[in-house]
Amino acid sequence: MTDPIDKIRTSCNELIVALEQDSCPDLIVIAMNFSNAVDQAMDAYKRGEISVDMSVMPKIMHSFATEELPDLCRGNKEDREKARKQCRLFLITMEELVQPKSN
């Protein structure tokens, strides 16, 4: 089974690459893959399978990935640019502040 944290990293990087393209027919599918990865990691977090350094952040990051991001990916070029920047920030925040670890 794939580590939920690695799945987030991989799917987020795939989404960033897709958002950098002028046209990506699979963008919504790729965005949903990322949202699903975050959703699965949140479930693992709630079961105590993932520990974090900043306990307030998982809920905020989950909300972004599952609620805000899909709408941005469906939006116009400016929305997609914002989504790309937010995905990069998501990864930086996850790695530097939240520092999730599989238990």
Q: Per residue in 43-64, pLDDT tens? A: 999 999 999 988 889 999 999 9
The dihedral region occupied by 66, where left means phi > 0, alpha psi between -120 and 50, and beta the remainder, is alpha
Q: Tell me phi and psi for residue 2, to 5 degrees.
A: -75, 140
Q: Count the helix, strand and coil residues of the chain and give each as a percent rounded to the nearest 5.
A: 75, 5, 20
Confidence of residue 1 (pLDDT cuts 50, 70, 90): low
Give the Cα separation of 27 and 63 in Å (integer): 19
Residue 32: count of CB within 10 angstroms of its CB? 18
Q: Per residue in 24-36, pLDDT tens? A: 899 999 999 999 9
Helix (H, G, I), strand (E, B) or coil at 95: helix
